Amino acid sequence: MARSTQHRPTRVGPATHERAGTLDVDALLDDPTTGIIVCCGSGGVGKTTTSAALALRAAERGRKVVVLTIDPARRLAQSMGIEALDNTPRPVAGVAGEGHLDAMMLDMKRTFDEVVLSQASPEKAQQILANPFYVALSSSFAGTQEYMAMEKLGQIHRDAQAAGTYDLIVVDTPPSRSALDFLDAPERLSSFLDGRFVRLLLAPAKGPARLMTAGFSLITNALTRILGAQFLKDLQTFVTALDTVFGGFRQRAQQTYSLLKADGTAFLVVAAPEPDALREAEYFVERLSEDGMPLAGLVVNRASPEPAGDLSADEATAVADRLRRTDGTSVAAALLRLHADRVRMVERERTLRERFATAHPQVETVVVPALAGDVHDLGGLRRVGDLLAEGA
């Protein structure tokens, strides 16, 4: 399919009085300048499904797509018919059209290992991989997942640019506010590497013997008594290796941060039509605005479908009350009350969306109605993609 329409994500700025309107999802996917779509939002709003549906729809409209999930729940593999996702892109079978779709899931430790192996000599790499501090950092240290997400995204983009493997990368981020922690990865990593304690441990390796002053000896002797000689040696060995090996990672993370701010990137904030989820969505929009990130729009997922007919909630309740007075077991009365509840729910959700739009009128929005069942195959993902494109 020809892709001539272009959709330019906006740089979120101060609110204006004009409403931005409906997000044109197909224009975003068809725009050949769109190279990265980042889906962010709180947990439980259907972000992983939205990411997969966007990736599938883009592939079936002719794009060469890879979708990267860093959500610990492995629903993406089930939806795409892949037995298990890992750090290697896996082709998704059954994609219609001329496009192509691969899927992968971030393996935090394996990505960290790949950085070590690519930056160090074989001997030194093995020393680092076996170091107990490295094992802890690469497996469970707070923030490592976000660092490695930056690394993997940059790696995929570099490889795609060099080999022409993909023209669109869709990123599914972790749930909750930590989803934007990867924006801080370069600064946090730099702060850690440049910290006073790290520089103190590096002093013997970086400087001449005269740096081993009496003051430094007192500090290391105190640490040895508290932590143990082997513990301190392992820590010092690890920090030295970290400084020499991960300087390149720090630079690449900063390059990836710049990539996220570039015109080819589009952020989509995904939310549910609920007060807490839309408050979180406001946080994401404001944070993206502060960082000057290109925001494509808001996806309000799992909205209650509009009820049939034009009977208001009050009218339905009044008729139900009259029926109950004449027939206490009236099925019609029960159905009318269900209709009234549905109308009130739709009205409540509409009010929440309007409140968000009033606060952020520059943000384009698409509303996706809830499906009757769970999405568990490509057919379900196609249906979600259709709803994303049709949403109003």
For tokens 């725009």, name the residue.
31
Range with the poorest average pLDDT among 82-86, 209-213, 233-237, 283-287: 209-213
Burial of 101 (0-12, 13-18, 19+ CB in 10 A): buried
Query: Minimal CA–CA distance to 143: which of 58, 17, 253?
Result: 253
pLDDT tens string 87-135: 889 999 999 988 999 999 888 888 888 888 888 888 888 888 888 777 8
Share of the chain above pLDDT 70, in %: 73
Q: What is the pLDDT at residue 4? A: 46
Token digits of residue 342:
């549905």
* HSE (side-chain half, CA atoms, 13 Å) at 360: 25
Distance CA 307, CA 302 (A): 15
- Inter-CA distances, 7 with 30, 294, 344, Å: 8, 11, 35
When the candidates are 3.40.50.280, 3.40.50.300, 3.30.70.20, 3.20.20.70, the CATH number that belongs to 18-183+256-307+357-390 is: 3.40.50.300
| Count of all residues that appear for the chain in the document | 392
pLDDT of residue 146 exceeding 50: yes
Neighbours of 282 (CB within 10 A): 18
Distance CA 271, CA 174 (A): 14
Contact 171, 68 (CB under 8 A): yes
Distance CA 196, CA 193 (A): 9
What's the average model confidence in pLDDT over 293-300?
A: 96
Contact 41, 13 (CB under 8 A): no
Contact 302, 272 (CB under 8 A): yes
Residue 65's contacts (CB-CB under 8 Å, 6 or more residues apart) are: 55, 58, 59, 99, 100, 101, 102, 166, 167, 168, 169, 170
Q: How confident is the model at residue 79 (pLDDT cuts 50, 70, 90)?
A: confident
pLDDT of residue 216 exceeding 60: no
Burial profile 159-190: b = 16 or more Cβ within 10 angstroms, e = fewer: ebeeeeebbbbbbbbbbeeebbbbbbbbebbe
Token digits of residue 232:
């301190």
pLDDT tens string 237-280: 666 666 666 666 667 777 888 899 999 999 999 999 999 999 99
pLDDT of residue 224 exceeding 80: no
Q: What is the pLDDT at residue 176? A: 59
Model pTM greater than 0.75?
Answer: yes
Token digits of residue 300:
């309000």
Q: How confident is the model at residue 229 (pLDDT cuts 50, 70, 90)?
A: low
Range with the poorest average pLDDT among 53-62, 105-114, 357-366: 105-114
pLDDT of residue 227 exceeding 50: no
Who wins on pLDDT, 211 or 388? 388
Rg value, the chain, Cα = 26
Q: What is the pLDDT at residue 392? A: 54
Contact 389, 54 (CB under 8 A): no
Q: How much is the mean pLDDT over the chain?
A: 80
For residue 364, what is the DSSP state?
A: -
Distance CA 66, CA 88 (A): 11
Residue 100's contacts (CB-CB under 8 Å, 6 or more residues apart) are: 59, 64, 65, 91
pLDDT of residue 136 exceeding 90: no
Range with the poorest average pLDDT among 14-23, 55-64, 131-140, 226-235: 226-235
